[in-house]
Amino acid sequence: MQKSIQRRSFLKTTATAGLSAVLVQKFSRSDLDAAPAAAAKPVVISSANGLEATARAMELLKQGKDALDAVVAGVSLVEADPKDNSVGYGGLPNEEGVVELDASVMHGPTGRGGSVAALRNIMHPSQVARVVMERTDHALIVGEGALKFAKAHGFKEQDLLTDESRAEWLKWKENLSPNDDWLPPHDINAKGIGKVVEAYQRHHGTINCNALDLNGNLSGCTTTSGLAFKIPGRVGDSPILGAGLYVDNEVGAAGSTGRGEANLLACSSVMVVEYMRQGKSPEEACLMACERIARQTKMKRLLDGEGRPNFDVKFYALNKRGEYGGAAIWKGAQFAVNTGEAKSRLVEAASLYKRASG
């Protein structure tokens, strides 16, 4: 089994740690208590599609805005971008051609969170999730109820399916089977058409964004249109606090993208934060979450020939000291970072495995 250099180094480090649980806890607690003195430097991290989001968030952080104001403003740019078909307007639809959106927010200073799931016709689910947090006694509102709630608070309905996303949905639908009545474009000589799904990659896409503000406070947001062509009503990890997003203002913030079902079963984001509480770096904590998912994956259809997950999940983490990191099951992932000194940039994430070359 071929694994990345980062993975081997990570296992060696954790295997030789030698500290008792009590000492690790004491060490991490004292570190965190000392963090606020060095926390005046703002930091924003996000998934790789968040270069614009992290730049906007940093602008607001430099103005003294709260971390939650910053991350919601940042991801709202991506939600409104029709070219990003993983989030908001232009997101790829469910199997019936309807765009359904999920989002969550957590505010470190107050310990509050809110989320929406299977929300239709509203471009900015991240903003609706924030209103759930601020204007209700609930943490999660879904489906028709989420739409009614959004409309009650002045959010306007609109068709979220762009021509590009509609074309992708029709391509998928027309190639499910050669035995149904949906056919792709063809001429009179064509035979056996309508069956290329094996070669058609279904899209997982999301944006997670976490920030540390000038006051040393943390917040995060995750927003998505979910798995392309999903069963209507399907909800992944993005709106589930503890799975797709988790923030503890004393420790750190973490979020994820990728196969939501795997992350739901592992509740990984809260685990990343807990690993950081134990003294792990953000990168080490993200790698541990990846390993947890790999260990929990038992279904043969979800494993490759070497027993490794045949899907990817990516994690992004930021601790109270402003240290950041990311990791993925498979090598090649990146994440966006802005530390205020320059433009947002992409950084390579650590990984558990790398694919054989060629």
Positive or negative, the CA dihedral 296, 301, 304, 310 is negative
Q: Counting Cβ atoms within 10 Å, is residue 209 exposed (0-12), middle (13-18) or buried (19+)?
A: buried
User: What tokens were used for 196?
Assistant: 């290329």
Q: Per-residue DSSP letters for 29-93? A: HHHHHTGGGGTTS-EEEEEGGGHHHHHHHHHHHHTT--HHHHHHHHHHHHHT-TT-TTSSTT---
User: What tokens were used for 320?
Assistant: 């109270």
pLDDT-above-90 percentage for the chain: 78
Average pLDDT over residues 133-145: 98
Q: pLDDT by residue (tens digit) across 275-328?
A: 999 999 999 999 999 999 999 999 999 999 999 999 999 999 999 999 999 999
Q: pTM for the whole thing?
A: 0.86
Instruction: Compute the distance between CA of residue 237 and CA of residue 258 in angstroms, rounded to an integer.
Output: 9
Give the catalytic positions in this structure: 206
Q: Which long-range contacts (CB under 8 A, 24 or more apart) does 179-186 make?
A: none
Give the pLDDT band of residue 235 (cuts 50, 70, 90). very high
Q: pLDDT by residue (tens digit) across 36-88?
A: 444 469 999 999 999 999 999 999 999 999 999 999 999 999 999 999 999 99
3-class SS of residue 106: strand
User: What tokens were used for 335?
Assistant: 């994440």
3-class SS of residue 107: strand
Average of per-residue pLDDT values in the chain:
88
Instruction: Compute the distance between CA of residue 153 and CA of residue 23 in angstroms, rounded to an integer.
Output: 49
Domains and CATH numbers, the chain: 5-161+203-353 (3.60.20.30)
More confident residue, 357 or 338: 338
Beta strands in the chain, from DSSP E residues, in sequence order: 43-47, 101-107, 112-119, 140-142, 207-212, 218-224, 245-248, 252-258, 313-319, 324-330, 334-338, 345-348, 350-353
* Residue whose C-alpha is closest to residue 162's, from 49, 236, 80: 80
Kindly report the number of other CB atoms within 10 A of residue 298's CB atom: 8
